[in-house]
Amino acid sequence: MPNIKIFSGSSHPDLSQKIADRLGLELGKVVTKKFSNQETCVEIGESVRGEDVYIVQSGCGEINDNLMELLIMINACKIASASRVTAVIPCFPYARQDKKDKSRAPISAKLVANMLSVAGADHIITMDLHASQIQGFFDIPVDNLYAEPAVLKWIKENINEWKNCTIVSPDAGGAKRVTSIADRLNVDFALIHKERKKANEVDRMVLVGDVKDRVAILVDDMADTCGTVCHAADKLVSAGAIKVYAILTHGIFSGPAISRINNANFEAVVVTNTIPQEDKIKHCSKIQVIDISMILAEAIRRTHNGESVSYLFSHVPL
């Protein structure tokens, strides 16, 4: 493809390389480093004048450093006369801070949106936003891609009893996500109502739906400390589920997450590679990874060619 450059930030170079390989392109030359006072320095190593530039940087690892690095890379390309700069952010940082849910609380996702726009981004490509209204925080185009097609493909290929399963949301907020998957599989769905004492700590859970003598598949957009999904797995087993799987788009797995998964009643915990999982897999054999580089690569190709990206909401290009 002519007039296109893809650069990788330092958060997830493996995913960036897979995207470039699928497009038949080489990653652009960029050097990222820090000065002794920990300021981030970025040097774009080739001309981007008149080019359609895509910068791949996920909101994981050292999130604040990686976000700052992305902003600097966008600005560096913009002032170097790139015709368009698209930020490809597989896991959007600060997405859980999307509303003012108590007095004096910040809406940090809106702040990040403002920062990306001010830095010079012309377009955002992301995946499974924690709250779809975040798209409205931007005054530039946002393509929120879905991992759902890849999830459906994994379920059909890896769960023999998928026709006798129930798709379960671990909270009421994910009801729309699980009903969509359940409808496309033509199976039942259920949800778990949870009450929190405070953030990252669940007090009580109530199952709404039937999982007795069925395979239960928990589906959520992200898991951080995994307290919710592990409590949900216990609830499903006590309700009569014969097997429990968890399928998550963004596997953050911070704090006690890995030990909780190892001790939980999961057949497998399946995540996409929007966040690097190599280190986590070494400590937890239950974790399996779905590669979504093909979805992001196809979105980049279609965006560059001026084609509709909505095709990706129902298909997985192979």
Query: What number is the average pLDDT over the span 33-57?
Result: 95
156 and 285 together in one domain: yes
Tell me whether residue 90 is in a domain. yes
Question: How many other CB atoms sit within 10 Å of the CB of residue 43?
Answer: 11
Give the pairing of strands 243-251 and 215-223.
parallel
Q: Are residues 117 and 216 in the same domain?
A: no
How far is the CA of 78 from the CAs of 5, 49, 59, in angstroms? 13, 9, 21
3-class secondary-structure state, position 125: strand
Number of H helices, E strands in the chain: 9, 14
pLDDT in tens, 136-155: 999 999 999 999 999 999 99
In a domain, 65, yes or no: yes
Report the C-alpha dihedral over residues 266, 268, 269, 273, rounded to 10 degrees.
Answer: 170
Q: Which of 7-11, 82-86, 224-228, 307-311 has the lowest mean pLDDT?
A: 307-311
Q: Quick one: average pLDDT of 116-142?
A: 95
Average pLDDT, the chain: 92
| Contacting residues for 153 by C-beta, under 8 A, at least 6 apart | 316
Q: Does 187 have pLDDT greater than 70?
A: yes
Q: Say if 317 falls within a structural domain.
A: no
Residues 173, 267 within the same domain: yes
- Whether residues 241 and 169 share a domain: the answer is yes
In this structure, are 83 and 185 located in the same domain? no
**Burial class of residue 112, CB neighbours in 10 A (0-12, 13-18, 19+):** buried
Last residue of a domain, one of 118, 145, 172: 145
Count the domains in the chain.
2
Examine the domain organization and report whether 134 and 171 are in the same domain.
no
Q: Which residue has the tokens 């949870």?
A: 194
The residue-averaged pLDDT of 173-199 equals 85
Residue 56 tokens read as: 């791949």
**Same domain for 203 and 87:** no
The average pLDDT across 2-30 equals 96
Q: Answer yes or no: do 10 and 116 share one domain.
A: yes
Q: How many CB atoms lie within 10 A of CB 92?
A: 27
Note the pLDDT of residue 308.
86
**pLDDT score of 315 more than 60:** no
Classify residue 298: in a domain, yes or no. Answer: no
**Does residue 295 surpass a pLDDT of 50?**
yes
Instruction: Name the residue type at position 103.
Output: S
Could you tell me which residues come within 8 angstroms of residue 133 by beta carbon, excluding any fewer than 6 positions away?
A: 98
Residue 307 lies in a domain: no
Checking if the pLDDT of 200 tops 90, the result is no
**pLDDT band of 314, cuts 50, 70, 90:** low
Tell me whether residue 312 is in a domain: no
What percentage of residues in the chain have a pLDDT greater than 70? 95
The answer to the question of residue 18 being in a domain is yes
Domain limits at 257?
A: 148-290
Does residue 160 share a domain with residue 105?
no
Whether 214 maps to a domain, the answer reads yes
What CATH code is carried by the domain that includes residue 8?
A: 3.40.50.2020
**Which whole number is the average pLDDT over 247-255?**
95
Considering the domain architecture, whether residues 268 and 227 belong to the same structural domain is answered as yes
pLDDT per residue as tens digits for the range 216-238: 999 999 999 998 899 999 999 99
